[in-house]
């Protein structure tokens, strides 16, 4: 597989090597050792989720308190989505910036989103099926959101805004700057310290 760092340091696009034959196709969409080489520590898998979405469905922008937050390894097993990683860490050189990866059932790519980042995707096709490998379990009291249409973030959904389908929870979420005022966003330095803790733990385990 090929692992490429995105424009925001610490986030990665993963493209598997596919082996097609007359029976179908085989590929590895996740390798803990390859990901650990890129990230510095393994993904400590605690929960796996699947969502199925109509075209135009937007899920996010979601994030969780650090620590432990929730790192995610996301792929699309049916249909197609555009998946976004947003740097919401206050004090980060790339605060408010985002990058995206098209995830679909053709290239079978995945995206790695570290702890402390915002995550969002939009479904480009009906029945788009997205699977997430997560480093921690869902904890409602530690989960937060940013309005996906926040002008400060300015995500490009590649679909007409009239087609977008948002949940009431996401519609009611604050914008990025309002979330910062409310003290909801993770601090960059705290995230770096947490990454270092995870990296040190990985080294000790070897």
Catalytically active residues are 62, 132
Name the nearest CA neighbour of 113 among 43, 30, 199. 43
158 contact partners, CB below 8 Å, separation of at least 6: 82, 122, 124
154 contact partners, CB below 8 Å, separation of at least 6: none
181 contact partners, CB below 8 Å, separation of at least 6: none
Distance CA 186, CA 86 (A): 12
Name the nearest CA neighbour of 153 among 188, 102, 110, 118. 118
Distance CA 81, CA 102 (A): 6
Task: Tally the C-alpha atoms within 13 A of residue 55's C-alpha that lie toward its C-beta.
Answer: 9
């Amino acid at each position: 597989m090929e692992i490429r760092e995105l424009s925001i340091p610490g986030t990665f696009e993963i493209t598997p090597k596919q082996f097609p034959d007359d029976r179908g196709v085989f590929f590895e969409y996740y390798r803990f050792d390859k990901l650990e080489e890129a990230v510095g520590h393994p993904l400590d898998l605690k929960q796996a989720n699947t969502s199925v979405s109509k075209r135009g469905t937007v899920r996010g922008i979601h994030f969780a308190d650090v620590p432990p937050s929730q790192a995610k390894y996301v792929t699309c097993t049916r249909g197609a989505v555009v998946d976004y990683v947003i740097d919401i860490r206050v004090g980060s050189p790339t605060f408010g910036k985002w990058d995206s990866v098209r995830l679909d059932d053709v290239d079978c790519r995945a995206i790695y989103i570290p702890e402390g980042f915002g995550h969002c995707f939009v479904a480009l096709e009906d029945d788009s099926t997205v699977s997430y490998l997560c480093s921690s379990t869902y904890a409602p009291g530690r989960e937060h959101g940013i309005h996906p249409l926040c002008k400060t973030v300015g995500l490009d959904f590649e679909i007409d805004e009239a087609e977008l389908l948002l949940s009431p929870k996401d519609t009611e979420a604050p914008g990025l700057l309002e979330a910062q005022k409310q003290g909801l966003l993770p601090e960059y330095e705290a995230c770096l310290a947490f990454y270092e803790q995870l990296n040190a733990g990985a080294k000790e385990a070897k």
